[in-house]
């Protein structure tokens, strides 16, 4: 059984991408180089293949109530054409996945989930749906194999994206143009005889769009965007740059900052947990943590001396002992210094706290900083 390929695989090969095994998918880790691609996104534009991610549709009169049961954020807040970041928790408040939920129309929802969690999420959702009181008014479909997707991110994207996907939205948020979508809005646009969903969302900390459609449509979007974006400095970007970009703005990555034994409260994502919306999976545990405190807290840090890059699993020393571990870390291409995220005891999670990161048996000084680590001037 070989590695899975997205519909853009041949395009990656043609561009000379360096390919790696990413959770069973053969994906580009870089093209011209991680630092160059990262800086292109910060300064101009970059396009990422995110077709490996999963899509689940949830429809019916009971869809809203069901989603509010299984997700932490309040989907009642979503008007048609609006999206929200949210988490799916187990009974202990542990995270099964972090994801985006969009309401496309009154009773039609789309979930965008992590590639590494498609099987786990779908199994969980199906099990939850089977017990849900309103299940006869609920249709849940794993549409992951049907859809491809790209992320187009960077400050200059808005200068050329309307030319790639022209015209007004025909569904969800009916704006006059792609660039009229506000942050977290999603619209359906006609594109070369297909319909593509475009949301003003992303995982880089820059302005940008994520575009979902069939493989054929997304391949054409990829080519159109690269061609139109060339004069603006667009670069194809791989998973390496995707990781350095999201680490700089402290976005969590499932399997690193989030897992089934870690809660959104510990991860600093309490903003996306609507404790007051009523009952939902994990509510009691999360309410208890919010009231009584947590044993570990996610902190962002910057190396305060020259050091090798901090990396996941490196021990974190605070108050004379090894009390935590790095969950994500890298040399920041934008800042030129080592940065990362780590779980530490809550008392040491305050900005300005000095910690030490153990790298290959030696300790190097770092300091806890507010999130995000990188912000625009």
Partner 1 sequence: MSNVPGNLKYTKSHEWVRVEGGTAVVGITDHAQHELTDIVFVELPDAGKKIEAGKACAVVESVKTASDIYSPVSGEILETNRAVVDDPALVNREPYDGGWFFKIKLAKPAELESLLTPEEYKAQIKA
Q: Which residues would be at the binding site for partner 1 (CB under 8 A)? A: 18, 29-30, 33-36, 240, 244, 307-309, 311, 330-331, 333, 360
Angle between helix axes 63-70 and 118-131 (nearest 10 degrees) is 120
- Which residue lies nearer to partner 1 by CB, 100 or 251? 251
CB 325 within 8 A of CB 309: no
Which of 165, 157, 174 minimizes the C-alpha distance to 221? 165
- Which residue lies nearer to partner 1 by CB, 29 or 190? 29
Q: Which two tokens stand for residue 52?
A: 């490996």
Task: Report the C-alpha gap between 31 and 16 in whole angstroms.
Answer: 6
- Which residue lies nearer to partner 1 by CB, 80 or 309? 309
Q: Which two tokens stand for residue 175?
A: 């704006």
Which residues, at least 6 apart from 193, have a Cβ–Cβ distance to it below 8 Å?
none
Residue 39 CB, nearest approach to partner 1 (Å): 11
- Which residue lies nearer to partner 1 by CB, 114 or 247? 247
Residue 249 CB, nearest approach to partner 1 (Å): 17
Give me the helices (H) in the chain, please. Answer: 9-14, 34-43, 63-70, 118-131, 161-164, 215-229, 239-248, 283-292
Residue 21 CB, nearest approach to partner 1 (Å): 14
Residue 42 CB, nearest approach to partner 1 (Å): 15
- Which residue lies nearer to partner 1 by CB, 81 or 310? 310
Residue 38 CB, nearest approach to partner 1 (Å): 9
Residue 335 CB, nearest approach to partner 1 (Å): 12
The DSSP string of 96-163 is EEEEEEEEEETTEEEEEE-GGGHHHHHHHHHHHHHH-TTGGG-EEEE-GGG-EEEEEESTTGGGTHHH
Burial of 186 (0-12, 13-18, 19+ CB in 10 A): buried
- Which residue lies nearer to partner 1 by CB, 277 or 311? 311
- What residues pair up with 15 in beta bridges, in sequence order? none
- Which residue lies nearer to partner 1 by CB, 36 or 363? 36
Residue 51 CB, nearest approach to partner 1 (Å): 22
Task: Report the C-alpha gap between 305 and 343 in whole angstroms.
Answer: 20
- Which residue lies nearer to partner 1 by CB, 34 or 173? 34
Residue 258 CB, nearest approach to partner 1 (Å): 21
- What residues pair up with 220 in beta bridges, in sequence order? none
């Amino acid at each position: 059984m070989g590695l899975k390929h997205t519909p853009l695989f041949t395009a990656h090969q043609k561009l000379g991408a360096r390919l790696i095994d990413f959770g069973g998918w053969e994906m580009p880790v870089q093209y011209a180089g991680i630092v160059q691609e990262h800086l292109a996104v910060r300064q101009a534009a970059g396009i990422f293949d995110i077709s490996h991610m999963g899509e689940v549709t949830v429809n019916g009169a009971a869809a809203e109530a069901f989603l509010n049961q299984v997700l932490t954020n309040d989907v009642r807040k979503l008007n048609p054409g609006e999206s929200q970041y949210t988490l799916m928790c187990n009974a202990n408040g542990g995270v099964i996945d972090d994801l985006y939920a969009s309401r496309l129309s009154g009773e039609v929802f789309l979930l965008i989930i992590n590639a590494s969690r498609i099987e786990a999420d779908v199994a969980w959702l199906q099990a939850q749906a089977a017990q849900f009181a309103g299940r006869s008014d609920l249709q849940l479909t794993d549409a992951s194999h049907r859809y491809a997707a790209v992320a187009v991110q960077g400050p200059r994207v808005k200068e050329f994206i309307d030319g790639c996907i022209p015209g007004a939205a025909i569904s969800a948020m009916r704006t006059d143009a792609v660039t009229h979508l506000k942050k977290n809005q999603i619209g359906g646009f006609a594109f070369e005889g297909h319909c593509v969903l475009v949301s003003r969302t992303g995982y880089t900390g820059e302005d940008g769009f994520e575009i979902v459609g069939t493989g054929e449509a997304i391949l054409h979007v990829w080519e159109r965007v690269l061609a139109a974006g060339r004069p603006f400095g667009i670069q194809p970007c791989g998973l390496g740059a995707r990781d350095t970009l999201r680490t700089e703005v402290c976005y969590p990555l499932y399997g690193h900052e989030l897992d089934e034994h870690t809660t959104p409260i510990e991860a600093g994502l309490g903003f996306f947990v609507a404790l007051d919306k009523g009952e939902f999976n994990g509510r009691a545990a999360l309410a208890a943590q919010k009231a009584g405190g947590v044993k570990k807290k996610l902190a962002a840090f910057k190396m305060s001396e020259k050091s090798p890059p901090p990396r996941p699993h490196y021990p974190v020393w605070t108050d004379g002992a090894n009390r935590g571990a790095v969950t994500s870390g890298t040399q920041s291409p934008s800042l030129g210094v080592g940065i990362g995220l780590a779980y530490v005891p809550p008392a040491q999670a305050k900005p300005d706290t000095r910690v030490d990161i153990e790298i290959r048996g030696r300790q190097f000084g770092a300091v806890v900083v507010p999130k995000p680590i990188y912000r625009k001037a």
